[in-house]
Structure 1
């Protein structure tokens, strides 16, 4: 810590739209000094432009660096130069999880080259020597066919002298109104006492009433598909073709599925060829979330990167005949209600939401780090991120 600024410094690798950084940014004891993201999309697409969203909310410009190509020593040099720091207190890293996700069939057989980025986190930690390392990724990082990468990371961090804890959590347990399951790896340097999210929440739990889609988005203004709310540019959804709009209208409200299209000849005509093949093969649970509506009184389904179309998952509004807006999905993903996303591409804005670490959760991780660095144990009123769907009144004693 410098004489001018007594806050602990944070470096965020694979920083994306700032979901992990924002939780620390919102904590008065931390300063996000540097962030790194190559903004890579699929080869056929242009940049994700996530660094634009990041800088809008965190106030610094991430380094556009390919973390698979750069040498750790050079990265450390660039980060120290960028953030005016010697040794960060916290190193956070959220490597791409696409190669681990169980939703992609090929991931059960092929080890995606990007998965090796998990192990590189230890190489970067060796150069930067942070007091705490936090890694977030898909549940399959610990439990999938290629868990060897998490084992390598844990082994390497332990070799460097860190004490390490790795666990998979359902994030609705910590207040996120979504059925999201993620892995969190926490490593602390010698001299610090390792603590976990379980320790942070010991003795407390979230009221089930706080975890519903209704609680999160019921009060947002109605908007039609493709229309932008004049008071919030993020409260807008993608346009759909007339055919897709008719298909949406035919699906029952409040949790309905495409399977219901086959209940009547008047609606069966809206079924896609893929739906017809699934029914013919008696596989009605096959991609059952596609075109599905969210249900008001349950947590949202997992919000994934490709959430910008109703055909990619259960992303249709419970009542209105449209895809959920960027703002609605952001609230369900634990972002504050005034978080600003890129306006250059709505499709990218959706990806920024689906790719992100929920800021609601990263703020809890920030308070956990503050505790491990010598602060007092925080209470729920401390670690609830303002202007998100979780309120102090939603926390009850366990």
Structure 2
């Protein structure tokens, strides 16, 4: 590792999930970030307020610029530090237009998808030694994968070596069922290493990637209340029938289908639930209003995770939505990370949009390996104050056979 920290720029920086891993690594120095802070296309720029969260934790004020409009030269000039011949460029454009969770994405190419190929302009301007991108798997295999193909072809045309693959992030210790595509590109004179190389021969214990490990130790709070010692340990207010519906669901993985067949609980089913019953779609719809299960990974935490009606976001036992803090930990953020903003809904969105720092820290170690040739020991890649621990690592069966 050199004496001078390698410079890092983060585009589409959000609440800092991708940058957090690099910030925690001593070999890197965040020198710039940019995000237009869009909550939804209809809400306009600045709505989600993620730049304040980024600055509060990572000591860099992101540029509030529209990366679909600003030129690569103009962006580089606005950066607070020199970004010529940069060491690391991170760019994680919105995944909404690729996600299979949105039905229209099967047929309509969301305009935001074009941001993926546009990233190549910033690579050409800053000339990073290492480039990384995270997105949903459909970036690589979906109907609109031509956006990634254009990016890859441009990168290769500039002399970069490119690797792209999809992963279940629980494989790397994240306590969540989250599948993501990871793209790593390196300058032609550098070796290309990946998370697969970092983890070769090892895996995490099953109990390490569970809801129980992540949040069972947090203090109880009531729905809508805020814990006095942690302003982020707060959840959406539920009352009346909404609260009664959650209370009626069995603890530890229960959901609304468990209310069927009981007159006292069937009254809590809403029309969309009855439609799912009529159509025999219980399996595809049962996560709505459901409780998490203690001894499984959490479901995928999406940007609209601020209400129990949007997915299986209810606490395994307490009658409420999981708090901002709980979902942050399940998303791999350190337990002391500060989510900033006047709207609790936007704090949830910052979490759902984020790259899990538990994983980005591992990516930072991969980048350090690429830049220096020094392979890290696996126990070095555990981000402090997250749910993963060094004693969670075990050799795979294949690795154990090799040692015999």
Could you state the TM-score of these two structures normalised by the residue count of structure 1?
0.97
String of CA shifts for 1:265-302, please: whole Å, max 9, x gaps: 10000000111111122222242110000000011100
Q: Does 1:146 align with 2:151?
A: no
Distance 1:78 1:343 in 2: 25
Partner of 1:379: 377
Alignment of structure 1 residues 14-29 onto 2, 5 Å: 14-29=12-27
Distance 1:272 1:284 in 2: 14
> What is the DSSP-based 3-state SS (H/G/I as helix, E as strand, rest coil) of the residue aligned with 2:283?
coil
Asked whether the equivalents of residues 76 and 83 of structure 2 are also in contact (C-alpha less than 8 Å), the reply is no
> What is the DSSP-based 3-state SS (H/G/I as helix, E as strand, rest coil) of the residue aligned with 1:234?
strand
Distance 1:326 1:295 in 2: 18
Asked whether the equivalents of residues 49 and 341 of structure 2 are also in contact (C-alpha less than 8 Å), the reply is no
Partner of 1:323: 321
Partner of 1:129: 127
Residue 6 of structure 1 and its aligned partner are, at CA, apart by 1.0
Partner of 1:50: 50
Partner of 2:101: 103
Partner of 1:176: 174
Q: Which runs of 5+ in 1 are unaligned?
A: none
Asked whether the equivalents of residues 173 and 388 of structure 2 are also in contact (C-alpha less than 8 Å), the reply is yes
Partner of 2:68: 68
> What is the DSSP-based 3-state SS (H/G/I as helix, E as strand, rest coil) of the residue aligned with 2:269?
coil
Distance 1:162 1:299 in 2: 36
Asked whether the equivalents of residues 36 and 65 of structure 2 are also in contact (C-alpha less than 8 Å), the reply is yes
1:349 to 334, 347, 365: 347
Partner of 2:402: none
Distance 1:283 1:92 in 2: 40
Partner of 2:282: 284
Distance 2:196 2:42 in 1: 42
Q: Does 1:223 align with 2:221?
A: yes
Asked whether the equivalents of residues 261 and 268 of structure 1 are also in contact (C-alpha less than 8 Å), the reply is yes
Partner of 1:155: 153
Distance 2:261 2:330 in 1: 31
Q: Tell me the matched-pair count.
A: 394
> What is the DSSP-based 3-state SS (H/G/I as helix, E as strand, rest coil) of the residue aligned with 1:168?
strand
Asked whether the equivalents of residues 18 and 356 of structure 1 are also in contact (C-alpha less than 8 Å), the reply is yes
Distance 2:283 2:200 in 1: 37
Partner of 2:401: none
Asked whether the equivalents of residues 342 and 348 of structure 1 are also in contact (C-alpha less than 8 Å), the reply is no
String of CA shifts for 1:211-240, please: whole Å, max 9, x gaps: 110011001000000110111111110101
Distance 2:131 2:50 in 1: 23
Alignment of structure 1 residues 176-195 onto 2, 5 Å: 176-195=174-193
- Aligned residues: CA RMSD: 1.4
Could you state the TM-score of these two structures normalised by the residue count of structure 2?
0.95
Distance 1:62 1:171 in 2: 27
String of CA shifts for 1:351-391, please: whole Å, max 9, x gaps: 11110000010000000000000141111211110110001
> What is the DSSP-based 3-state SS (H/G/I as helix, E as strand, rest coil) of the residue aligned with 1:285?
helix
Asked whether the equivalents of residues 136 and 181 of structure 2 are also in contact (C-alpha less than 8 Å), the reply is yes
Asked whether the equivalents of residues 94 and 137 of structure 1 are also in contact (C-alpha less than 8 Å), the reply is yes
Partner of 1:210: 208
Distance 1:7 1:336 in 2: 22
Asked whether the equivalents of residues 207 and 395 of structure 1 are also in contact (C-alpha less than 8 Å), the reply is yes
Distance 2:367 2:384 in 1: 18
Distance 1:160 1:392 in 2: 39
Distance 1:346 1:284 in 2: 30
Partner of 1:36: 34
> What is the DSSP-based 3-state SS (H/G/I as helix, E as strand, rest coil) of the residue aligned with 2:260?
helix
Partner of 1:78: 78
